Chain A
């Protein structure tokens, strides 16, 4: 029989509550990242293949066609340059949304891991924060690789374009927190992910001025873009990347919109995480 003397000191002596209250979110994030690392090769493969395929097919393929028919390019620049900030934003938003949906549904419903976390001193808020931190860490990794690919293909130029990365992550986080709250709130996830992909992510991708300027769309479709953090990120990205014209008021408006969406989203996520865990 194996030795079983646990040599107890007791939780009253060994558990450090202030440390947990301070660092709990990071413990959750570390655990999530540890789980993600189980699929590190597929994460790396996806992060590399996505930009390469997109840039070869749309950026270069369609770009050649557009440039040959329009000598001044689009918005005064080559099509790939016009497209690059939007593709970066779209990929990051999609990546963050993926990391904010599957793990939350898994944590609450499929494997109920969040209930195990909440049986410790960790709170619902800390679980939500930890999931968000881990989601953004993975998104940042994908974003950095995509950014490098865009530089290599000539879609981005200069050091100033590095500002695209934090701005894009900000927009991705503003959308991710909202999705986290929705996933925490829903009881029945049948078809939910398909619906999100088909009726939310895809329309946002298509109608947020990614492939052409939003102003060239009918007014009723422009509304989708105005509501989408992706359009705000795309507008700011083009301004950062090649100096796309934006007034000071427009710049402030785009940042404010994403900031408000982030704040409302995180409150919404906290509320539904705590509510679901106490049911």
Chain B
């Protein structure tokens, strides 16, 4: 087999967007963003619901037209060369859309045919993918009988049937239990090691930290920041954070006294966050000033803190 679209092979970077915008009537879902993704990147879109992540992903997936701006995927414009681009993408949507009436292996077989792959190739590929997704024993089971985690793994396996250049995952672990999430992260990490370019949207900061080399933090259709997870934390937060709780009606009262003791303070409805590189010392100081929080916690700064700094909002609201 050979690919007819040889012009696609030399494309570098894989994805480049300039002034990308998508409006739905008077609502702007994506507001003139610029970004680029290079081969082998594990690139994450981080933001709350409605930030514009999924819309951006659908434009990249060549299934949604943009309102304005420019974008090329593998060197081609998705509005001109949709099928050529989609031939090299593996897409894992937010909601599983497997064929519930077919078996696990039939789902993989049918999907492989949509890429024009030969029956012989798909049959051997199914073996690899079932092993990859740890679904060998479910091969002849109908999809409707699978658990949520198994369906998610099958959806990822299905997206890999054509050995795509870019694997796009839209909130891959939303709704899964912690164990299922860790199995999925492991599978995705293996793909990353094999050099597959990953594009991930998530509103889970731990997922973004685990899987992404580079992150684009989005809110209200705009890019708030873009860098590696470690650099984002270094740039926009302190090494440590002290979380103190005085009770919902007293947090704001204490906040005024706490403000001068650290680099920055965030007052949330249920707790006060205090930012400083050494928070153990800070906690001692808070107590020695006669303030006694009902609970306290010293932790590492996370992407949640970055997001809070950039937007004034938490990721999961």
Contacts and interface: CB of A to CB of B under 8 A. Distances in A.
Contacts of B88: 11-12, 15
B101 A27 contact: no
B93 A20 contact: no
B1 A35 contact: no
A15 B111 CA distance: 13
A4 B272 CA distance: 45
A31 interface: yes
A30 B116 CA distance: 13
B41 interface: no
Contacts of A48: none
A8 interface: yes
A117 B195 CA distance: 25
A15 B116 contact: yes
B163 A18 contact: no
Please classify the interface of chain B as helix (H, G, I), strand (E, B), loop, or mixed, using the class held by over half of its residues: loop
Contacts of B147: none
A38 B195 CA distance: 39
Interface residues on B, range: 35 or more
A121 B87 contact: yes
Please classify the interface of chain A as helix (H, G, I), strand (E, B), loop, or mixed, using the class held by over half of its residues: helix
Interface stretch (B59-67, B221-229, B277-285, B291-299): B59-67
A5 B127 CA distance: 11
Contacts of A68: none
Nearest to A23: B116
Contacts of B2: 13, 16
B83 A20 contact: yes
Nearest to A107: B97
A49 interface: no
Contact of A17 (B84, B91, B99, B163): B84
Interface stretch (A108-116, A167-175, A219-227, A250-258): A108-116
A11 B163 contact: yes
Nearest to A277: B63
A14 to B, nearest CB: 5
Contact of B113 (A12, A30, A277): A30
A122 B114 contact: yes
A278 B117 contact: no
B26 interface: no
A209 interface: no
A24 B131 contact: no
Contact of A34 (B82, B102, B115, B121): B102
Interface centre among A2, A3, A28, A116 (most CB of B within 10 A): A116
Nearest to B6: A12
Contact of B116 (A6, A19, A35, A277): A19
B198 to A, nearest CB: 14
Interface string B66-101: 000000000000000011101111010101011111
Given A6-B128, A6-B163, A16 B1 contact: yes
Interface of B: 1-5, 8-9, 61, 63-65, 82-84, 86-89, 91, 93, 95, 97-102, 106, 110-111, 113-117, 121, 128-129, 131-132, 134, 136, 160, 162-165, 187, 190, 194-196
26 contacts: A3-B128, A6-B163, A8-B163, A8-B194, A10-B163, A11-B163, A12-B9, A12-B88, A14-B115, A15-B87, A16-B116, A17-B5, A20-B114, A38-B102, A111-B97, A111-B100, A112-B97, A115-B97, A118-B63, A120-B111, A120-B115, A121-B87, A121-B114, A122-B114, A123-B83, A278-B64
Q: What are the 3 closest A-B residue pairs judged by CB atoms, nearest first?
A: A119-B91, A120-B114, A121-B83
Given A12-B3, A14-B3, 16 more contacts: A2-B131, A2-B136, A7-B128, A9-B163, A11-B88, A12-B8, A12-B88, A13-B3, A14-B115, A16-B2, A28-B114, A35-B99, A119-B61, A120-B111, A121-B114, A277-B63
